[in-house]
Amino acid sequence: MAGEARDACGVVGIYAPGEDAARLAYYGLYALQHRGQEAAGIAASDGTSVVVYKELGLVSQVFDETVLASLRGHVAIGHVRYSTTGSTSWVNAQPSYKAGPGGQIALAHNGNLVNSLELKSSLQAAGGDPTPADGRPLPTTDTDLVAAHIARAEHGDLGAAILHVLPMLSGAYSFTIMDETQLFGARDPHGFRPLALGRLPGGGWLLASETCALDLLGARFVRDVEPGELVGIDRDGVHGTRFAEPRPAACVFEHVYFARPDSTLQGQNVYATRYRMGEALAAEAPVDADLVVPVPDSSVPAAQGFAKASGIPYGEGFVKNRYVGRTFIQPTQAMRRQGIRTKLNPLREVIAGRRVVVVDDSIVRGNTTRQIVAMLFEAGAAEVHLRISSPPIRWPCFYGIDMPDRDELIGARHDVDGIARHSGATSLAYLSLEAMIAATVVPGEDLCSACFSGRYPVPVPPEKLRSKHVLEQPATAR
């Protein structure tokens, strides 16, 4: 992706009697590493106490044999994080842990709530965070606020406490939650973020943000946790409770970019969806060229689809250093620029003298795209035609993607011609919103496309709009 939008997070949950749940959670997080590279954490219970270990860094950096051996038990949850609320610091890493009247709980969250100020005020009115001593600051993340509310509401029945708190929440959430003996998974009524349920080979159960985590653990996909559903898993099996009427609005950007291509979303394989987007892009924005190349890795399926539909040969135009993380996690633009050159190197022998079509999935600020175009011309490309397999991103996301403020989104400040001039490309074309949605083979009314259309399924409070510097009032009804 040629941009600087931060990913959604990734969560797992394991209930596996007789097995090492923390180790299973570790491998599940490994499969979800693409969803968060700032911090990782696992909470585990042996039936009597919950132990949490979390740290800044990649999964492989945070956990080793010594740490995993200390996380004993058959119940565990895990989390990989990009910050959407709260700063990048250890205290804001997840899972969040609380000890309340009913016992210990841990919670991991994928998404972002839009009413965190209201939650904080109600927690203050109720007496604050149940875990810290008086005088310590209240939680800084929406995740920690939710955990504090659940811990305060629990009086021996975690499921009832969760059901008491979920109706208070507004925005996007896929939760995995545990206490000493139980595992729960919950998804907001719109189902903005995915959450899948699988059966482990040994008979245990697995919750995960994407089905690729199930595949790594050899688990059988059972079903998605439904929007507005709380799933509980204990020694009696799996039981689901509907806490709100579903109003599906799953994030379409999961299909475009976030999810791994070997995952399944809403019944559709992500690779096949992106391939169809590339085919549609070739039909909508044809070009006379010699070679189609992707910006690796997320754009590969779309580039292959574009090549197939256009009849232009597909090739690898970049060598990618796979030991470099996604460049948008770098804190400054200068570091991001260096990150691109560290991460991607054009193949001069392939590119020189050719008219090249570069397929990417999206453009956020536009600076990375401009650098990629410059690199291709430096490598001898005769022409560089940009083709983007999604529409222009014009609006910030408030549901779990930490996109830049609207005045930093190049799609909000320029039309397509202006973006083309900024990029330095020979030509530029985007896939239409209608074609992108059609390629998902999911009904448009079941998808959230707010970052492209400005139509927000959940109303965004004015203070949130101000914090993102939204330049004009968006629509709130689809």
Q: What share of the chain is helix, strand, coil (3-state, %, to 5)?
A: 35, 25, 40
Closest among 339, 338, 448, 463 to 8, alpha carbons compared = 448
Q: Locate 253 and state its tokens.
A: 């950007």
Residue 34 corresponds to which amino acid? H
Q: Are 257 and 361 in contact (CB under 8 A)?
A: yes
User: Using a CB cutoff of 8 Å and minimum separation of 24, what contacts does 433-436 make?
Assistant: 433/391, 435/277, 435/280, 435/281, 435/284, 436/252, 436/256, 436/277, 436/280, 436/389, 436/390, 436/391
Give the alpha-carbon dihedral of 460, 466, 469, 474, to 10 degrees: 30
Q: Cα–Cα distances in Å, from 223 out to 79, 87, 130, 267?
A: 21, 34, 35, 9
Q: Are 128 and 138 in contact (CB under 8 A)?
A: yes
**H/E element, 165:** helix 158-165
Q: Which residues are catalytic?
A: 9
Closest among 31, 40, 55, 88 to 330, alpha carbons compared = 88
Count other Cβ atoms within 10 Å, centred on residue 333: 12
Residues paired with 171 in a beta bridge: 113
